Amino acid sequence: MSDTEVRQYSLARAIMAAADRDWSKAGLEKAASDAVAAQRKAPAQGFYVPNDVLTKQGAAGERRDLLAGTPSAGGYTIQTDLLAGSFIEVLRNRLTLQQAGATFLAGLQGNVAIPRQTGGASAFWVGENVALTASQQAFDQVTMTPKTVGGVVQMSRKMLSQSSLDVEAMVRNDITQILALEIDRAGFHGSGASNQPLGIVGQSGVGVVALGTNGAVPTWANIVALETAIAQSNADVGRIAYITNAKVRGKLKGTPKVAGTNDTMIWQGNDTPLNGYAAYVTNQIRSDATKGSGTNLSYILHGNFQDAFVGLWSGLDIMVDPYAGALTGALRVVSMQDCDVAVRHPESFSFIPDAITV
């Protein structure tokens, strides 16, 4: 889509057209949905929102009901003495997988297979008139298949007609953020079961630096061990970084590199706080793990996040249900995105699964 078409696209208009089953006033939105359907060779369950709209204007989700009559569920957006510019958005976990350098593949069609070199040719020392031994490279494939993540938002018609906020932007942001957060979380901790992608920490071949039978407080030696785990596989190249949660950051800020001193803490106060590498903090990273008698243990991830792939199949599929909330005049909007996670080289990552932070 052109920049002009993206600016003219209205998610609210598309939602109302789908609810009324009348697209006469939403020609652009209908044409965009049809174009995505043609590209995917599959009809939408509701209507498709092109990736262009989601990326240029701004993916199992939780349910959030936006109601004009309930202050905490939409009523605070109704015109009273409202400072629309001071709207307080719900606090959410930070999205960090893409920020750390993960490779996002959008607009995919069908299953995806990415070639991967698993072995190289070999060199030999030979004597005079002795033939070289033939060798060749070896390859396999990293595969991605679509898994569906979805979220639900319910909006009252009264809120849509009375709110002084840009409802278009608010609804679009809420729909996309809940899905984006879950895709981000699955990139780290997806179980690979129950229709979820398999996240980085579940991949076979990823390095594990375990701290203790019941977990342990991370030390400077443990941080170095994370780096060594990928370096010994020649994988310490690319966008090397750490990703962990706020509890770990707080603990490492108060933990000295050398026990018994207070000179230099493990977590430094600069842009590369962990041994010269960037470190990202998000509560997407688990802090509720158990091991032995240890509880509320945290993860610390390290690696080249360019080797993490997130695949997005074309378009966000949105269904509008005007019936579930018919007695109150509400519209229920169900959004779904097909996605998957893959790791090109598991050796590019290592993690601690049992850090004590209390």
Q: Are 273 and 253 in contact (CB under 8 A)?
A: no
Whether the per-residue pLDDT at 319 is higher than 90: the answer is yes
Instruction: Calculate what percentage of the chain has a pLDDT beyond 70.
Output: 83
φ/ψ of residue 65, rounded to 5: -95, 120
Q: Sort strands 330-343 and 289-291 into parallel, antiparallel or unpaired.
A: unpaired
H-only helix segments in the chain: 3-8, 11-20, 27-40, 51-56, 157-162, 167-189, 220-231, 246-253
CA 343/CA 201 separation, integer angstroms: 10
Is 90 a residue whose pLDDT tops 70? no
What is the pLDDT of the chain when averaged over all its residues?
84
CA distance linking residue 271 with residue 11, whole number of Å: 38
Query: Does domain 1-82+91-114+142-358 bear CATH number 2.40.37?
Result: no
How far, CA to CA in Å, does 23 sit from each of 20, 51, 168?
Answer: 8, 20, 18
Which pLDDT score, from 0 to 100, does residue 89 have? 45
pLDDT (tens digit per residue) in 162-193: 554 567 777 778 788 888 899 999 999 999 99
Among the listed residues 98, 171, 111, the one whose alpha carbon sits nearest the alpha carbon of residue 147: 111
Check residue 224 and report its DSSP letter: H
Of the ranges 7-11, 129-133, 228-232, the best mean pLDDT one? 228-232
Distance CA 135, CA 254 (A): 53
pLDDT at 127: 82
**What mean pLDDT comes out for the span 258-275?**
87
CB contact set of 201 (below 8 Å; sequence gap of 6+) = 188, 189, 299, 301, 351, 353
The structural domains of the chain, with segments of one domain joined by +, span 1-82+91-114+142-358
Tokens read off for 139: 């390859």
Global pTM reads 0.81
The helix/strand count (H/E) of the chain reads as 8, 15
